[in-house]
A and B are shown apart, each in its own frame.
Chain A
């Protein structure tokens, strides 16, 4: 009646159902958590150049460059169902060519247990700020926002924007020097 196979089968089934049940409870327990928090950011140096991105085409496009300050405390976002935060700093703006442009300038991965209190001064952007055309020179309303994508142990993958943003202007002249 109770052979090795039936016992093994029983143990396996029971283990799997307990694990599935626990995982589901873990997901349920953090379903209604509010993952918003405040962040302060500021731009320090902002320049714009007009050069060709040879990886894309020979046409000259606007290339923005900036350094920024960022101050935020994200330690309150972590709970037992947050494995990792993916932070990203987005520049959002409107040009005559496009009604919406979004460019990620910088990102950072914070695993649970790592330092989540950030205070950066004069940070360089991580990715090139290419515009799709020549819309950056003299642009007077580029919005900088910080957002995070929450990676759980098991569950939903929400993208949440920080409370607080920063708007800045690009200079009206191209920079000729290297930056």
Chain B
């Protein structure tokens, strides 16, 4: 198996090898383009997120995938699932809006809670922060796909697994001939 793989490389001339490298570059850049394109279409800085905790069970489990939008003209309303960032925490949180107050000048403040948590999120917010505002929101959950995010969770938990997968893919793309 491996011998036959490297036979392919040996039989390649310089041009063919450069072609393989370029096509590898194409794959990487098109993935990047799709991600950035989704950011433009959805208005969210992170259009797809993986659920990392069980705080929204039984709706969302660890490893489920959420598709977000964040259109400024669509108002936040109670009962929606928002993904927000809190100062001092790296990982965005996926929770449901529990209370909302909108002032006459359009400023909104709201409080969130996880379906599986018994108390609201004031304990999770930054010190002294009582409400979330629009600028904290990364996106609103619009679509749901179960289990798919498990791959990225494994990759983050076992970095060796991640490098192994990446290395295999890179070798395959570079070495494999159409």
Cβ–Cβ contact B81 & A100, under 8 A: no
Task: Let me know if A104 and B144 touch, CB within 8 A.
Answer: no
Q: Is the C-beta of B62 less than 8 angstroms from some C-beta in chain A?
A: no
Q: Is B130 an interface residue (CB 8 A)?
A: yes
Shortest Cβ distance from residue A46 to the other chain B in the assembled complex, whole angstroms: 19
Closest-CB distance, A170 to chain B (whole angstroms): 17
Q: Which of A34-42, A65-73, A116-124, A155-163 participates in binding chain B?
A: A155-163
Specify which chain B residues have a CB less than 8 angstroms from the CB of A90 in the assembled complex: 78-79
B77 proximity list for chain A (CB < 8 A): 102, 159
Answer whether A154 and B145 are a contact pair too, CB < 8 Å, given A98-B101, A98-B103.
Answer: yes
How many residue pairs between the two chains, A and B, have CB atoms under 8 Å in the bound complex? Answer: 82
Q: How far is the CA of A101 from the CA of B77 in the complex (A)?
A: 10
CB neighbours of B120 from chain A (8 A): 127
In the complex, what residues of B have CB within 8 A of residue A101's CB? Answer: 100-102
**Known interface pairs A88-B78, A104-B98, A147-B79. Does A157 touch B130 (Cβ–Cβ under 8 Å)?**
no
Q: How large is the interface on B (under 10, 10 to 19, 20 to 34, 35 or more residues)?
A: 20 to 34
Least Cβ distance of A70 to chain B in Å? 16
Of the residues B96, B98, B102, B142, contact of A98 by C-beta under 8 Å: B102
> Which residues from A are CB-within-8-Å of B59?
83-84, 86, 109, 151
- In this assembly, does A152 line the interface, its C-beta being within 8 Å of a C-beta of chain B? yes
A99 to B104 alpha-carbon distance, docked (Å): 5
User: B99 and A102: CB pair below 8 A?
Assistant: yes
Verify B79–A104 contact, CB threshold 8 A: yes
Question: Chain A interface (Cβ within 8 Å of chain B)?
Answer: 3, 5, 23, 55-56, 83-84, 86, 88, 90, 97-104, 107, 109, 111, 127, 130, 132, 147, 149, 151-157, 159
Residues of B within 8 A of A (CB): 1, 58-60, 77-81, 96, 98-104, 109, 115, 120, 122, 130, 141-146
Supplied contacts A90-B79, A147-B79, A154-B145, 5 more A-B pairs, CB within 8 Å: A86-B96, A100-B101, A102-B78, A157-B81, A157-B143
Q: Which 4 A-B pairs have the closest CB atoms?
A: A102-B78, A100-B102, A132-B101, A151-B59
